[in-house]
Structure 1
Amino acid sequence: MPAPQAARDSVELFSARASGYAQFRPHYPASLFAWLAGQCRQTDTALDIAAGNGQASLPLQRHFHRVLACDASAAQLNAGAHWESVERFVADAEQLPLKDNRLDLIVVAQALHWFASPAFFAQARRALKPGGLFCAWCYSLLEIDSALDEIINRLHGKTLAGYWPAGRASVDAGYRDIHLPFARLAVPAFALEATWSFEQLIGYLRTWSAVTKWQQTHGSDPVAAVQASLREAWGDVQASRRIRWPLHFLAGYPTQ
């Protein structure tokens, strides 16, 4: 369980990379949000916690009448464009400024590991309507091909070992180490997929929080150190490549 200081440190790290997140993070599949709506008794109000720049908030608008988004980082909330119709507010996940029994759905995309505490789950239970659904998910390393994957895995697991914030281990474990105190719901297999240029891949790697920490510590760019190897493994840098990130879920209904 990450300590409160680790959670505060994560806000600073991701605030510093807010524009990069808005530009280089992949998008979640539309089928995921259609499935989530189908598991809810009603589709009046959904909340995206730790919403960042709205990558999960915006797709929810196709299925819910009202979408709320909160984040501890005001910079993250202000980094996304064209989501004025989402009701955004700054809040800590463990202190949601919402009345009881107001939400049909709570989602937490790639962030539960920062605050997966009994206090947070109590807040989620309080805010959800009877029969309301909670769903959190994460994704870890991308998959391209064996040559590129080997270089990226080495950067992630060796070069940057010790530079990931507390809580990253939960992501690498696919959230299997987090106990969800709700009646569990099985989730179908979903994945993020994107067709990216080589420059988009490099931009994405530079959004990694451990890369930021490495740069702060050493004053150098660990991505630049492997860029030539990545370029060689990529092949034609004018060509785009298909990239995939498997998603891992924790979903369930709080018992009343």
Structure 2
Amino acid sequence: MEFLLYLGYGLFSTNAESDVIIRNYYYTIIGEYWDKERKYLDENYTTISFPFDEISTESFENHFTWSFDELMGYLETWSATQHYIQKNNSNPLDIIREELKISWEKNDKKVTFPLLFRIGKLK
């Protein structure tokens, strides 16, 4: 029997205060710089054509505890961050860096990534 698996991870969450800053960054500051295919992750892969016998799965998450430098390093890897830098010759993280650092330092520094799965049997 053959199977097909789509696997990815969605936008992470953390403490409520930092989430507001990060979501503003994600959607407003760099929103227009995401590749068009990013929408599939934002839609949890539910809009991708999937002509297979889908197998339902439970949901999974990855949990981490990050330093501020690890958080910023991760945000720096985002393709939209890099596209913004290339187009504007400035780093968009500079817009949120100080506010996010204050928020991060006074909260628990926990990060949760939703894992996205679609599994199906080939017909």
Common fold by TM > 0.5: yes
Q: CA deviation at 1:240?
A: 6.5
In structure 2, the residue matched to 1:254 is: 122
1:209 and 2:46 equivalent?
no
Runs of 4+ in 1 over 6 A off after TM superposition: none
Matched, 1:144 2:39: no
Which string of whole-angstrom CA distances, capped at 9 and with x for unpartnered residues, describes residues 192-237 of structure 1?
A: 211111100000000000000000000000112211010111125x
1:241 corresponds in structure 2 to: 109
Relative to the length of structure 1, the TM-score reads 0.46
Match of 1:178 among 48, 70, 80: 48
1:154 maps to 2:24: yes
1:194 is the counterpart of 2:64: yes
1:227 alignment partner AA: R
Counterpart contact for 1:142–1:244, Cα < 8 Å: yes
Once the two structures are superposed, the pairs formed by residues 65-84 of structure 1 within 5 Å of their partners are none
Structure 1 stretches lacking a partner, 5+ long: 1-130
Q: Secondary structure at the residue paired with 2:6?
A: strand
Alpha-carbon distance in 2 for matches of 1:234, 1:168: 26
Q: Which residue of 1 aligns with 2:98?
A: 228
User: Percent of aligned positions with the same letter in both sequences?
Assistant: 28
**C-alpha distance after superposition, 1:113-137 (max 9, x if no partner):** xxxxxxxxxxxxxxxxxx1221112
Q: Contact between 1:136 and 1:251, CA under 8 Å: does it hold in 2?
A: yes
Tell me, in whole angstroms, the C-alpha distance in 2 between the residues paired with 1:246 and 1:169.
15
State the one-letter code of the partner of 1:180.
F
Matched-pair contact (CA < 8 Å) for 1:191–1:244: yes
Report the RMSD for the aligned CA atoms in angstroms.
1.4
Contact in 1 for aligned 2:15/2:109 (Cα 8 Å): no
Q: Which runs of 5+ in 2 are unaligned?
A: none
In the TM superposition, what is the alpha-carbon distance from 1:175 to its structure 2 partner?
0.7
For residue 206 of structure 1, give the secondary structure of its aligned residue in structure 2: helix
Shift of 1:254: 0.3
Query: What amino acid does structure 1 have at the position aligned with 2:73?
Result: G
Which structure has the larger Rg over C-alpha atoms?
A: 1
Greater helix share, 1 or 2? 2
SS of match in other structure, 2:3 = strand
Count residues with an aligned counterpart: 123
Letter in 1 for 2:22: I
1:245 is paired with a residue whose SS is strand
